[in-house]
Structure 1
Amino acid sequence: MISKRNIDHNRIPSDNELPERPYGDNNKRSTPSLHKELEHFLKHALLELHQAKHINTHQPFQWHKAALTHHTFIYMHRFTGTLNANGEPSRIMRKSACLFTPGTSLELVSEADHETEVYIIEYDLFRAIEKTEARRIYERELHSPVTGLIQGPFYGIQRITAQITELAQSDHEAASRDIKAQLLLTDLLHMLWPEDNKSAAAEENQNNPEAWLKTTLQYMQQHYMHEIKLDTLAELAGMHPSYYSQLFKSRMQKNPIEYITHLRMNRAKEMLLTSDLRIRDIAREVGYRDEFYFSRRFRNFAGYAPTAYAKQVHRNIVSLSYPYTDHLMTLGITPCAAQIQGHLPHMPSSLKLPFHAYEPWEQGRQAFLDVHPELILTKDNAAAKAMEHIGDVAPIITIPWNETDVFGHLERISSIVDRTRAAKNWLDGHERKAERARKKIKELAGSLTVAVGTLTAKGPRMYSHRNFGHVFYRTLQLAPPPLIQAELHGKAPGVGYNWMPFTPGEWHGLEADVLVLAIDNMHNRATLMQKLKNDPLWSSHPAVRNGRVHLVDWSAWVVYAPYSINIQLEEALSMLTSRPVLL
C-alpha cells in the first residue's frame, strides 16, 4: 500500500540537486559499480510514465525544453542534426539514444533534407523512503546514475520504446496501463546500463572458456559503426592480440576485422533494401565518413555498386519465422533454409529455431554458412537473436509482426523479393475464393455468428479477426459474438485487437451459432469432449444445443500466412456448411 507520495511535478531541482557528472561523462566510472548502483537505484522504486511521443517527419524538426520537468529518454532512430544539452552541443548522424534528468536544458535540431524519426519518453521515478508492513512512503527521485548519450543495443531499445509509445496512446484501463508501463520502463533502464566491463569480462572468461567470444561479439555488434581496434577486442577477451585473432578465426571462420566489415556491409544492405536514405547517409550509419570509399568497399564486398544493389533479385533466402516461410512459398520462392510449421507446397531445409523470443537459439552457424544466404528474413521478435548469432552472415530484414496484418506482411515481403505481381495474383485469387465461399455459406446456412477459441497449453483464448479468427471474420465476413464485437469497436482490422482469455463454461457475451475450438492434441479429442460435457454450463451455449461445435487441429490453424489461409478457408467452408451433429 502506498500511503503518500511527496510529489511536486512543477518543482525544478536546484543546481546542487543535479548529478555531479557532466553530460556525456558515462565512462569515467567502472561498469560494475554502475551495474550495482542500478540494482540499488531501482530497488523498491516506482516508475510512472508521463507521456511518450513518436515523431516521424520529413520536415525540419526542432524540440526544446528550457528545463526538463521529468526524466526524459530520447531514442533517435533516424536523425541528423544537433543535440544540445546544458549548452553542450553534440553532432548526431546515426541511431542514438540519450537519457537526462529533470532540470536539464535540452534541444534537438535536425538538418534539412533528412528524415527524422524520434521517440521521446518522459517519466517520473519515486523511491521508497519508508517501508514497513503497515505502509510505504515514496519520494520523487531526481537523480540518475547515468545521463547523456547511451551506447546500444539499439535493436532492443527501439522495440521497447515503440511498445511504450503504443501503450501511452492506447485506451487500456488506467491501472493496467500503469502496470505495463512500469514493467516496460524498468526493462528499458536495465538495457541502458552496461552489464560488463573489461575486468568483469576477464573474470567471466576465467570461469567460462567461451565467454571471451560472446563478450567481444556483443561489443562488435553494438559498436560496428565506430572504429574498433584489435587491441581493444583482445583486451576485452583477456588475450594477446595475435592469439585472440587466431582463436576468433577458428571459431567464426573469419578474423575479427573481416567480421566487423561483414557486419557493416550487411547493415548497409538492409538500409539499401528498406529505406530511402542517401548513400552518404548509409555510409555514415555504418561507420564510413567517405561515401566514395564506402562505395568501393561495398562493390568489392557485394559485387554491385550501392546504387545498383537494391535493384538486384535476391533468391537465396533464409526464413527465420514460419509465417514468412509461408509468404515466400506463396510468392513462388522456396527458401534455401527455413523455420517450418503447417502445410507447405514444398519443404525447404528445416532450421531448428525458437518459435518465441524467450526460447533458446539452438541452430549452429554452420547451417547458415552452408546455404550461402543472400538475405535473411525474420519477425521482430527474433531479430535480436539473429543479429547476435548470424549478423555477419547476410543482411537481416525484419518485418514487424504486430505493426500490420497478413496483407501488410505480404506486401512488404513481396516488395523486398521483387514479387509484387505474384502478391497481387494471390490477393485477387483469394478474394475470388472468399466470394464463392461467402455465397455458398449464405445459401446453405444463412447468416451465422461464430465464436472462435483455443484450448491449448497457453490457456483458453477467444480470438478476434487476426490469426485464428482471420478466415472467419475477415475472409468470410461472419459476425463474432457480442463480447468480441465490443472489443473490436473502433479498432483497425487485423492489428487493433487479437484475442482475450476466457473460462470455458462462462459464455456470457460469447454466445454464437457456431463454436470453433482449436486444440493442440487431436488424439485427446474424445477425452476433452467428455470433460466439456461434464461441465453443466457447457450445454448452455447455443452452438452446443444446436450441434454446431467443431474441434480443429491448432497446428493447422496457427499459421497466419497466405498459403495456410487458403487451406483454412476450405476447412472453414466445409465445417460451416455441414449438417449439425449433436455431441
Structure 2
Amino acid sequence: MFEELTEMHGYLYKLVHARSPEDTPGMKVDNNNHLMLLVFSDKQKITIERKPYHVGPHKVILLPAGLWIEDKSESMGSLALEFVMLEETQAYRYAPVSLSRVIEVEVGPFPSLYQSVLDIRTKWSGERVDQLKAQHMFLELLIMIMENAAEKPHTEHERVVKQTVEYIHRHYHRNISREHLAERAGLSSDYFTRIFKRQLGKSPMSYLSAVRLNHAKQELLLTKDSFRTIAQRIGYADEFYFSRKFRMMTGMSPSMYVKQMKKADKIVSLHHHLTGHLLALGIEPYAAIVNSYYPIALHNTIEIGHFRPDLDKLASANPDVIFTCDIYDEETSAKAKMFEHITQTISIPFYDDWRTQFCKIATATGKDKEAGLWLEKYQAKSLSVRASIKPYVDGKTALIIGLGNGILCLFGQRNVGAVVYDDLGLKPPSGLGSIPLYREIAYEDIFDYDPDIIFLTSFRNDGSQQTKAAIRQTLNQWNRDPRWKSKRAVRNQEVYSLLESQHLYTMYTAYSHDLLLDRLHDLLVSDLSKEWT
C-alpha cells in the first residue's frame, strides 16, 4: 500500500470538483486529466474495468484519469473528489499526470472519512472562500491518507519480520530458501528481502546463516559430535559446505575455532551455578556475577554485576568466552542479545541435570578428563556418606523447606533435593507429590506434612539483614505454634539447618553439592546440629 502511494509523492494537487451520485448520474469523468478519490458510507462491492473491489467506510479508492465505477447502481453511497496531479516540467510550468493503476488504501480507524469528504463537497458548492477552504481540507485529507498508509505497512512489516525471525529460530535446521520465507510472509521475494533488510540490517538468508552459525558454535563446543553430524543438525547437507561457510563467516575452520576456544583464559560466568561448575573443574572465572547470595571465595575474579550483568563492565573485561544459560529474568533478557556482540557466548540449558551441565562446561573448556575424575570421586563420596548416615536415616522421610524474606517453598528434585533424595536416598513425605524444582507455599501449608526429618535452607536469600530478620521471624513464629511443635521431626529433634551460608549449599551445581555432602554428613551424625534455634 505504502509502496503504491509513493508514486503520488512530489506533486502538486488541485481539487476541481466534489461529487456524489446525485450530482451526475453515472459520474464518469470526461476530462482525461482528472483523477478520482472515492469514499463509501458502507461496505459494498464495485466493479472497475471488469475487476471487483470490496470497499467500505475505511477504504479509499484512487482512480486513474478516465476510469469510473462501471455499474451505475454500484456508485450509490459513494462520494468522489475530482482532482488533478501536477508535475513541474519547467520552472513555474506544470503539466497534469495520471496514476498508473487503481489504488486501494485502507485508512484503518479514521473516524469520519465519509463525513470529511462530505464536508469538502459542501464547502465546494459554496462561495469562493468556501471553495478555498475545501481545497485546504482536500490537501489535509490527502496527507492523512498518505501518513496512515505509511504507518500501517510499518506495523505490518514489523509483524512479518518478527514472525520470520521466530520461524527461523524454530526451523533453522530445515531446508529453508528465501522464496519459502517470502511465500510464508505472503510477499514477493524481492520485496520481502527489502523490508527484512531494512529492519534487521541483513538479508533473510544472511540472518539464517548467522543463526545456524551460532548453533554450530554451541554444538562444536558442547558436544563431541562429528562435523558431519553437526552440519546436518543445523541445516547443511554436508560437512564440506558447512566448513566453507564457517570459515567464510569466522575466518577460521571449525577445528581451529574449537582449539582456540578450549584455550580461552578470560572466562566469564553470568550465573552462580555455572560459577560453581567452573570451580569444581579448578577454573576460577576471570569475571562473574558476585554477591552474598552465593558466598564463595573468588580471589581474582572481576565483578561484572551483583545480581545482573552490567554490560559496560562486561565489555570492559574483554572476555574470551561468556558462559550463560537459556533462562533469564525480564531485565537480563533485554541485555542478552548484546552478549554475542561482546564475545562468543555459550548457553548451558537451565533445565539440564547438574551432571550434564557440568560435563558440557568441561567439554567447552577442554576439561573432560578432569570432569570424569571429579564425578568418580563425587560418586564414591556420596556412596560413603550414604552408608555412614544409613543408621540415622534408614526408612525415614525428609522435607526440605526454603525460607526467605516473607516467602516459603518446598524443594523437589533439584538443588538440595538432588543430593538428599537422589544421592543419599531419603524419601519425600507422603502427599508431597512431584516437584521438579520448587513449590512456593503459604505458612499454613507447612502443616500438611509430617516428615521424620526437616531440612531448613535458604530461598531467595540475598544475605541482607532484612532477609535474615524475616527468616528469624518465621522461625520464632513456628516455635510458638503448637502445630509445629507437634511435628514428628520437631519432637524428635531432627530439624537441621543449612541457613548459615545463604545459598552455598543449595545451588544446583557440582561445587555446592560436594560441600553439601560433607555438611549433611556432619549434620546427621552430630548432636551439635540440633541446636538450630
Q: TM-score range by the shorter chain?
A: 0.5 to 0.7
TM-score scaled by length of structure 2: 0.52
Q: CA separation in 1, counterparts of 2:280 and 2:532?
A: 38
Compared CA separation, residues 540 and 329, structure 1 to 2 (3 A): same
Cα deviation for residue 541 of structure 1 reads 0.6
For 2:437, the equivalent position in structure 1 comes to 498
Aligned-pair RMSD on alpha carbons? 4.9
Give secondary structure in 2 for the equivalent of 1:462: strand
> Which residue identity is paired with 1:555?
H
Contact 2:396-2:452 within 8 A present in 1 as well: yes
AA at the equivalent of 2:302: S
Whichever residue aligns with residue 398 of structure 1, its letter is S
**1:531 shift after superposition:** 1.3
How much does 1:463 deviate? 2.0
Residue 349, structure 1, aligned to residue 302, structure 2: yes
Identify the residue that residue 364 of structure 1 maps to in structure 2. Answer: 311
Cross-structure match for 1:541: 487
Secondary structure class of the residue paired with 2:522: helix
1:436 aligns with 2:388: no
- Structure 2 CA distance for aligned equivalents of residues 550 and 284 of structure 1: 48
| 1:180-207 residue CA offsets vs partner (Å, 9 max, x unmatched) | xxxxxxxxxxxxxxxxx9847979xxxx
Q: 1:547 to 1:504 in 2, by over 3 A?
A: farther
| Structure 1 stretches lacking a partner, 5+ long | 1-32, 34-196, 204-210, 238-243, 246-256, 356-361, 489-495
Say yes or no: does 1:478 pair with 2:442. Answer: no
Q: Is the 8 A contact 2:452 2:489 kept in 1?
A: yes
Q: Does 1:323 align with 2:273?
A: yes
Partner amino acid, structure 2, of 1:547: Q
Select the residue among 319, 328, 346 that pairs with 1:397.
346
**Match in the other structure for 2:454:** 515
Please give the alpha-carbon distance, in whole angstroms, between the structure 2 residues aligned to 1:281 and 1:439. 43
AA aligned to 2:252 is Y
Query: 1:144-203 CA deviation, whole Å, 9 max, x = no partner?
Result: xxxxxxxxxxxxxxxxxxxxxxxxxxxxxxxxxxxxxxxxxxxxxxxxxxxxx9847979
Conserved? CA contact 2:216–2:231, under 8 Å: yes
Deviation digits for residues 199-250 of structure 1 (CA, Å, limit 9, x no counterpart) = 47979xxxxxxx9xx99xx89x97999889997578549xxxxxx99xxxxx
For residues 532 and 242 of structure 2, what CA distance do their matches in structure 1 show? 70
Does structure 1 retain, via aligned residues, the 8 Å contact 2:414–2:436? yes
Q: Distance in 2 between matches of 1:366 and 1:260?
A: 30
Structure 1 394/230 Cα, relative in aligned 2: closer, same or farther at 3 Å?
Answer: farther
Letter in 1 for 2:282: G
1:328 to partner: Cα distance: 1.7
Q: What are the Cα deviations for residues 284-319 of structure 1, in whole angstroms up to 9, with x where unaligned?
A: 968x99987874564366453125434552434332
Aligned to 2:508: 560
Q: Is the 8 A contact 1:378 1:396 kept in 2?
A: no
Which piece of structure 1 moves more, 326-335 or 524-533? 524-533
**TM-score where L is the length of structure 1:** 0.48
Separation of aligned partners in 2, 1:198 and 1:282: 42
Which of 194, 207, 220 is the aligned partner of 1:272? 220
CA shift in 2, pair 1:582/1:259, >3 Å: closer
Q: Tell me: CA distance 1:290–1:524, structure 2 relative to 1, closer, same or farther (3 Å).
A: closer
Residue aligned with 1:326, SS: helix
Following the alignment from structure 1 to structure 2, what is the Cα–Cα distance between the partners of residues 466 and 524? Answer: 24
SS at match of 1:556: coil
The letter of the residue matching 2:314 is A
Query: 1:444/1:516 Cα in 2 relative to 1: closer, same or farther (>3 Å)?
Result: closer
Structure 2 CA distance for partners of 1:353 and 1:388, relative to 1, 3 Å: farther
Q: Residues 450 and 516 of structure 1 are in contact (CA less than 8 Å); yes or no, is this contact kept in structure 2?
A: yes
One-letter amino acid of the structure 2 residue matched with residue 320 of structure 1:
L
Give the paired residue count: 349
- For the Cα contact (< 8 Å) 2:321–2:345, is it kept in 1? no
Flag the 1:284–1:430 CA change in 2: closer, same or farther, 3 A: closer
1:422 Cα shift? Answer: 1.3
Partner of residue 338, structure 1: 288
1:160-175 mapped onto 2 (5 Å cutoff): none
Contact 1:271 1:282 in 2 (8 A): no
Distance 2:294 2:150 in 1: 46
Classify 1:419/1:274 alpha carbon distance in 2 versus 1 (closer, same or farther; 3 Å): closer
Q: Are 1:459 and 2:412 counterparts? A: no
* Distance change (3 Å), C-alpha of 1:297 and 1:463: closer
- 1:575 Cα deviation from its structure 2 partner: 2.1
Rounded to whole Å, the distance in 1 between the matches of 2:447 and 2:456 is: 17
Aligned residues with identical type, % of pairs: 23
Distance in 1 (alpha carbons) for counterparts of 2:256 and 2:450: 57
- Residue among 365, 385, 407 paired with 2:355: 407
**CA shift for structure 1 position 444:** 5.9
In structure 2, do the counterparts of structure 1 residues 522 and 370 end up closer, same or farther at CA, with 3 Å as the change threshold?
A: closer
CA distance in 2, matches of 1:304, 1:283: 20
How many angstroms apart in 2 are the aligned matches of 1:198 and 1:418? 54
Q: Is the 8 A contact 2:447 2:483 kept in 1?
A: no
1:89 counterpart residue number: none
What does the per-residue CA deviation read over 1:245-301, in whole Å, with 9 as the maximum and x for residues that have no partner? 9xxxxxxxxxxx999997775444234335757569849968x99987874564366
Q: Which has the higher helix share?
A: 2
Instruction: Tell me, yes or no, if the aligned pair for 2:392 and 2:525 is still in contact at 8 Å.
Output: yes
Q: CA deviation at 1:560?
A: 0.6
Give the CA deviation at 1:427.
1.4
Distance 1:462 1:301, change over 3 A: same
Aligned-partner Cα distance in 1 for 2:418–2:242: 46
Structure 1 residues 405 and 280: alpha-carbon distance in aligned structure 2, compared to 1, 3 A threshold: closer
Residue aligned with 1:342, SS? coil
Contact kept, 8 Å, 1:314 with 1:374, in 2: the verdict is: no
Q: How far off is 1:452 after superposition?
A: 0.9
Secondary structure at the counterpart of residue 372 of structure 2: helix
One-letter amino acid of the counterpart of residue 565, structure 1:
H
The C-alpha deviation readout for 1:373-425, integer Å capped at 9, x for no partner, is 245442344796565222334443332222x3212222232233332221122
Query: Aligned letter for 1:363?
Result: D
When Rg is computed on C-alpha atoms for both structures, the one with the higher figure is: 2
Q: 1:573, CA displacement in angstroms? A: 2.0
> Residue 315 of structure 2 aligns to which amino acid in structure 1?
F
Seen in structure 2, the aligned counterparts of structure 1 residues 442 and 526 have a Cα distance that, compared at 3 Å, is: same
